[in-house]
Structure 1
Amino acid sequence: MDLITPILQGIGLFLATNIDDIIILSLFFARGAGMRGTTRKIIAGQYLGFGAILVVSVLVSLGAATFLPQDLIAYFGLIPLALGLIAAWKAWRGGDDDDDEEKVAGKAISAWTVAGVTFANGGDNIGVYVPVFVTVGTGAIIAYSIVFLLLIAVLVLAAKFVATRKPIARILERWEHVLFPLVLIGLGAVILIEGGAFGIG
């Protein structure tokens, strides 16, 4: 069996559907700067969120997950929207606080937050992966899945590299408290609107 073709196709498919995650992951790195275990939590969250996307995509392609209507995917936008509003509220409440310890503590992140945002942002990936998985064999699906899971680590490391470049890091450090909630709120709104949630599409 020729595995080179599905491997190359998997790389292209992953890059096309996940390259935008670098921005969001970079903001997570900026938010967790100086906190122990930030990279580990982001990697774990990314694998949890993307793993869920992959499992759902495979199950739907095999006809075993008809419980997930296409219309439901649009409502995934509520996850980053809610997280963004919470982050904005916390930033607004702590905006006048000059206590450095409190500011650092306020930047703690969790793997579950990363996973939730990853899953919500990748809701449209399901719509891309399912038709591909339906048209290929089991071996190709396995090859795609392995490629995707290997590239998750590359994606996270690329985001960390971007977030730790001095000019970018300075910008993120200064504006992270504004950019983080804005990006999440914007992401949630786009997912809801493009998906036609609540009849607003």
Structure 2
Amino acid sequence: MQTVLLSAIVVFISTSIDDLVLLILFHSQATTRVQRISILVGQILGIGVLVGISLVGSYLASRMLEGWVIGLLGFIPIILGIRAMLSKEESKEEATRTGRKSLLATVTLVTIASGGDNLGIYIPWFATLDGAYLGLTMLVFLVFSLIFWSLGYLLANQSHIKTLLSRFSAVLVPVVFLLLGLIILSENGTFAKLASLF
């Protein structure tokens, strides 16, 4: 049990450490308690979808999708990045009105899109676990999702980080999303596959 517990912690941290940077960025944009809760719910939903796909994949004992197909998820953060660049002029009232739903959807989609590496690790690892150990793993993932969310909030509210992000977040958020999308497309071989199709 201790081995599975330690493995679950290592697996979550190693596959989700990049999400911490995104959580810091999301928290720097959040101005209300509802928005911060939306970030948490979006993160848990995103990880839940990745875990669900991985459970199905491990149950079938094979990958449901080729790596390059998973890489297509990279277009999600690219589209969100372009949208963020185009909507910099959006008024605060409009942002507040649409903030909750769009933030929840954005966090969920970005978490899923950046989870190609998660699937590559979760699927074979879940295939080695029985029901009780899978339950323990899900609990560890939930606890560490809360820890990462809290860390993102704390780091985003450090005065020097907050000042830096408030000055540059309008540029930083779209750039991070665009880079994330390009990395996902590249690492999963999607660029090469699409090039070979045309």
- TM-score in terms of structure 2 length: 0.88
Q: State the alpha-carbon separation in 2 of the partners of residues 66 and 123 from structure 1.
A: 12
RMSD: 2.0
- The letter for the 1-side match of 2:4 is P
For the pair 1:4 / 2:2, whether they are aligned, the reply is: yes
Structure 1 partner of 2:179: 186
- The letter for the 2-side match of 1:4 is Q
Q: Deviations over 1:156-196 (max 9, x none)?
A: 01000000000000001111100000000000011011112
Structure 2 partner of 1:139: 132
For the pair 1:50 / 2:47, whether they are aligned, the reply is: yes
For the pair 1:106 / 2:84, whether they are aligned, the reply is: no
| Gaps in structure 1 of 5+ consecutive residues | none
Structure 2 partner of 1:119: 112
> Which residue of 125, 128, 135 corresponds with 2:121?
128
Q: Percent identity?
A: 33
> Which residue of 76, 80, 87 corresponds with 2:77?
80
Confirm or deny: 8 A CA contact 2:61 2:127 kept in the other structure: no
- The letter for the 2-side match of 1:161 is L
Structure 2 partner of 1:89: 86
Confirm or deny: 8 A CA contact 2:5 2:140 kept in the other structure: yes
Change (3 A) 1:137 1:36: closer
Q: State the alpha-carbon separation in 2 of the partners of residues 136 and 23 from structure 1.
A: 30
- The letter for the 2-side match of 1:151 is F
Q: State the alpha-carbon separation in 1 of the partners of residues 67 and 185 from structure 2.
A: 13
Change (3 A) 1:194 1:119: same
For the pair 1:69 / 2:62, whether they are aligned, the reply is: no
Tell me the CA shift for residue 30 of structure 1.
Answer: 1.2
| Gaps in structure 2 of 5+ consecutive residues | none
Deviates more, 1:135-144 or 1:179-188: 135-144
- TM-score in terms of structure 1 length: 0.87
Q: State the alpha-carbon separation in 2 of the partners of residues 56 and 11 from structure 1.
A: 19
Q: Deviations over 1:101-137 (max 9, x none)?
A: x247437352111100000011210001111112232
Confirm or deny: 8 A CA contact 1:59 1:65 kept in the other structure: no
Change (3 A) 1:152 1:52: same
Q: State the alpha-carbon separation in 1 of the partners of residues 58 and 84 from structure 2.
A: 36
For the pair 1:18 / 2:16, whether they are aligned, the reply is: yes
Q: Deviations over 1:61-83 (max 9, x none)?
A: 00088643333111110111110
Structure holding more helix per residue = 2
Q: State the alpha-carbon separation in 2 of the partners of residues 86 and 185 from structure 1.
A: 10
Q: State the alpha-carbon separation in 2 of the partners of residues 123 and 24 from structure 1.
A: 16
- The letter for the 2-side match of 1:132 is W
